[in-house]
């Protein structure tokens, strides 16, 4: 919820515009300003104050408690010129909504203002260590300073985990060299001695299996877990899940503790746990719930591990054991859209920025290189070795990294998503996420008018991977079915015959006056849009950077635009 606090008429008018834009997530606070801010502070995750920054600072100062839980605050000036991120810039990606930096951008977007952001890491494009999505401990200020000053920083990965690229200046630790950088980032679930130059990033790599007698308290289990981890030299910040047997799914102490720690409580059937070989089976749980091990077996099953990091330890009413889960890599299939930067989805940008490896055809990668975080590995391929690159993307994700496989338009349309998914096969061992992109077909259609207003088909005329007979059969079906058709890959230096053959087939079923659109380099610098007819089309204007859209028998040219009617008109 976004609380809106305004004092003047101009402020109230601007607040009303935010309410109109976000009716379900905004709430206005009236009355004496100090009182309004206090109520908004208590009830909202984000505040927009239509007030001077000075006045806002004075009013929120007595309310400040903790960087992690305080609401994000944005100030908007009286003229609506600036949206200033005042407090809580970074709190990105939490359930409570985005941080003030992002909120300032969103508010500025609605009001036509300029966002003002002063968090150093955001301004310079250096990733804030607290924005990587993992708990961070240690010398955050010192290492951030080193990053901003572009000093080399050692990155030591103890536990591989899918993370964004950490930094451009990262260097791998090399003990043989005497002058190792002073500043270090260590990705680890282990406890390390405090060091004024070291930051620890905590991947959620540990799974704690828990067995409990009825009525156990959350405190008892928490203490037992804490003691077991400390003794093994492991950090409680890296616990990613608790696991137990089905029968204990409702055990109040366990549910309360999972809640308190913000962790999922995974449960497994006793029969499954009973089938796991564990170091310390015992008779008590076998009698109570039907498996000789709960803590050890649940830790192993939930982590998908063969060995425990910490074998069972017990207190009066609980047992715990710890296993480490293999990193689960992430593969995103990201559509980059037809070319123009502002047709690339914000979600695609976020995924590109959270990947440490980006893979795709070189011409497409050039389109987005400036968006990548410093240090991102870019694997470009030329036309032809797409399959090999798709496989490399899956293999790299399987090694526990965060990989973005990109394609122009949509990555799943005549592009690398299919070979990647086929190669990934039936093993669900990585997270796979698709981010849709605006296809060449849609971009061309918008430029031409509304040629896709009724049923349409898309046919690739490339016979590199498909026999021409199959393509020809589809073109015939399209012709007979009277579909509007978009031809992808219509014509290249070596493939000149396919388009004329396809057009001849269509001419057998459509009048010579049928509108045809040719769009070359849609939304890119050299964009060309041509509206012609089946009779007049000169195929010489068509190349591999074009799509050709041929109308159905209902498609018309209206004021220079190609329009396919929606068809309801003809329904009886």
Binding residues (CB under 6 A) for ligand SAH: these are 338-339, 407-410, 413-415, 439-440, 444, 488-490, 519-524, 544-547
Pick between residue 439 and residue 498 the one whose CB is nearest to ligand SAH: 439
Q: Measured between alpha carbons, how far is residue 146 from residues 102, 183, 185, 290 in Å?
A: 25, 7, 11, 55
Pick between residue 75 and residue 413 the one whose CB is nearest to ligand SAH: 413
Pairing of strands 330-335, 402-407: parallel
d(CA 559, CA 121): 51
d(CA 207, CA 243): 7
For the residues of 432-496, what is the DSSP string, one character each? EEEE----HHHHHHHHHEETTSS-EEEEE---SSS-HHHHHHHHHHHHHHT-EEEEES---SS--
Q: What is the DSSP letter of 94?
A: B
Pick between residue 86 and residue 334 the one whose CB is nearest to ligand SAH: 334
Pick between residue 344 and residue 415 the one whose CB is nearest to ligand SAH: 415
Q: Return the number of other C-beta atoms located less than 10 Å from residue 493's C-beta.
A: 7
Pick between residue 170 and residue 529 the one whose CB is nearest to ligand SAH: 529
| Neighbouring residues of 196: CB distance < 8 A, sequence distance ≥ 6 | 139, 142
- 528 three-state secondary structure: strand
CB of 520 to ligand SAH, least distance (A): 6
Q: Are 317 and 251 in contact (CB under 8 A)?
A: no
CB of 440 to ligand SAH, least distance (A): 3
Pick between residue 40 and residue 549 the one whose CB is nearest to ligand SAH: 549
Q: Return the number of other C-beta atoms located less than 10 Å from residue 489's C-beta.
A: 18
CB of 546 to ligand SAH, least distance (A): 5
CB of 362 to ligand SAH, least distance (A): 14
Q: Which H/E stretch holds residue 404?
A: strand 402-407
Q: Return the number of other C-beta atoms located less than 10 Å from residue 60's C-beta.
A: 21
Q: Are 152 and 179 in contact (CB under 8 A)?
A: no
**Can you read off the two tokens belonging to residue 493?**
């230096």
Pick between residue 78 and residue 521 the one whose CB is nearest to ligand SAH: 521
CB of 517 to ligand SAH, least distance (A): 11
Q: What is the DSSP letter of 410?
A: -
CB of 322 to ligand SAH, least distance (A): 45
Catalogue the E-assigned strands of 259-413: 265-268, 310-314, 318-324, 330-335, 357-361, 377-381, 402-407
Pick between residue 133 and residue 551 the one whose CB is nearest to ligand SAH: 551
CA atoms within 13 A on the CB side of 178: 0
Token look-up 């993992």 returns 134
CB of 119 to ligand SAH, least distance (A): 36
Query: How far is Cα of residue 266 from the mean position of the Cα atoms in its chain?
Result: 24
Pick between residue 407 and residue 515 the one whose CB is nearest to ligand SAH: 407
Pick between residue 46 and residue 381 the one whose CB is nearest to ligand SAH: 381
CB of 486 to ligand SAH, least distance (A): 9
CB of 416 to ligand SAH, least distance (A): 9
CB of 199 to ligand SAH, least distance (A): 40
Q: How many helices (H) and strands (E) does the chain have?
A: 18, 29
Pick between residue 317 and residue 446 the one whose CB is nearest to ligand SAH: 446
Mind spelling out the 3-state secondary structure of 152-196?
A: CEEEEECCCCCCCCCCCCEECCCCCCCCCCCCEEEECCECCCCCC
Q: What is the DSSP letter of 501?
A: H
CB of 164 to ligand SAH, least distance (A): 25
Catalogue the E-assigned strands of 40-80: 46-50, 72-76
Pick between residue 217 and residue 532 the one whose CB is nearest to ligand SAH: 532
CB of 373 to ligand SAH, least distance (A): 24
């Amino acid at each position: 919820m976004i609380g809106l606090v305004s004092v003047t008429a101009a402020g109230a008018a601007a607040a009303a515009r935010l309410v109109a834009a976000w009716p379900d997530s905004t709430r206005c606070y009236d009355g004496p300003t100090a009182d309004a801010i206090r109520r908004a502070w208590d009830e909202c995750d984000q505040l927009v104050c239509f007030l001077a920054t000075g006045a806002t600072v004075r009013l929120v100062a007595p309310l400040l408690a903790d960087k992690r839980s305080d609401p994000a605050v944005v100030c908007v000036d009286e003229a609506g010129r600036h949206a200033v991120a005042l407090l809580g810039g970074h709190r990105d990606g939490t359930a409570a909504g985005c941080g003030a930096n992002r909120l300032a951008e969103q508010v500025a977007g609605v009001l036509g203002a300029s966002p003002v952001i002063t968090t150093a890491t955001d301004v310079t494009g250096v990733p804030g260590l607290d924005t990587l999505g993992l708990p961070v401990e240690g010398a955050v200020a010192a290492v951030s300073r080193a990053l901003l000053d572009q000093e080399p920083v050692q990155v030591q990965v103890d536990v591989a985990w899918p993370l964004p690229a950490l930094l451009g200046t990262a260097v791998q630790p090399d003990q043989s060299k005497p002058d190792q950088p002073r500043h270090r980032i260590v990705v680890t679930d282990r406890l390390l001695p405090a060091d004024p130059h070291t930051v620890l990033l905590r991947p959620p790599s540990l799974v704690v299996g828990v067995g409990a007698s009825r009525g156990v308290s959350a405190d008892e289990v928490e203490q037992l877990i804490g003691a077991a981890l400390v003794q093994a030299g492991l950090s409680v910040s890296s616990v990613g899940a608790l696991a137990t047997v089905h029968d204990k799914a409702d055990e109040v102490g366990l549910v309360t503790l999972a809640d308190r720690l913000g962790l999922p409580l995974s449960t497994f059937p006793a029969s499954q746990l009973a089938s796991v070989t564990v170091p310390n089976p015992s008779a008590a749980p076998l009698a109570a719930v039907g498996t000789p091990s709960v803590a050890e077996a649940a830790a192993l099953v939930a982590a998908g591990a063969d060995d425990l990091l910490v074998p069972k330890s017990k207190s009066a009413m609980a047992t715990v054991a710890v296993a480490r889960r293999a990193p689960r890599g992430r593969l995103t299939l990201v559509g980059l859209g037809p070319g123009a930067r502002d047709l690339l989805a914000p979600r695609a940008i976020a995924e590109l920025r959270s990947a440490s490896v980006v893979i795709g055809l070189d011409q497409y990668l050039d389109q987005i290189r400036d968006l990548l975080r410093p240090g991102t590995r870019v694997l470009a391929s030329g036309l032809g070795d797409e399959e090999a690159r798709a496989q490399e993307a899956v293999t790299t994700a399987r090694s526990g990294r965060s990989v973005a496989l990109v394609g122009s338009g949509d990555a799943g349309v005549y592009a690398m998503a299919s070979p990647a998914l086929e190669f990934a096969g039936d093993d669900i061992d990585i997270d796979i996420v698709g981010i849709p992109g605006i296809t060449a077909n849609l971009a061309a259609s918008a430029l031409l008018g509304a040629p896709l207003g009724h049923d349409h088909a898309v046919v690739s005329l490339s016979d590199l991977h498909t026999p021409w007979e199959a393509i020809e059969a589809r073109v015939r079906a399209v012709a007979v079915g009277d579909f509007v058709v978009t031809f992808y890959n219509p014509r290249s230096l070596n493939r000149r015959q396919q388009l004329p053959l396809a057009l001849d087939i269509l001419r057998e079923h459509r009048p010579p006056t049928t509108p045809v659109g040719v769009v070359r380099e849609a939304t890119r610098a050299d964009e060309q849009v041509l509206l012609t007819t089946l009779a007049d089309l000169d195929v010489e204007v068509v190349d591999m950077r074009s799509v050709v859209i041929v109308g159905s028998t209902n498609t018309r040219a209206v004021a220079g635009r190609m329009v396919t009617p929606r068809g309801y008109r003809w329904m009886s």
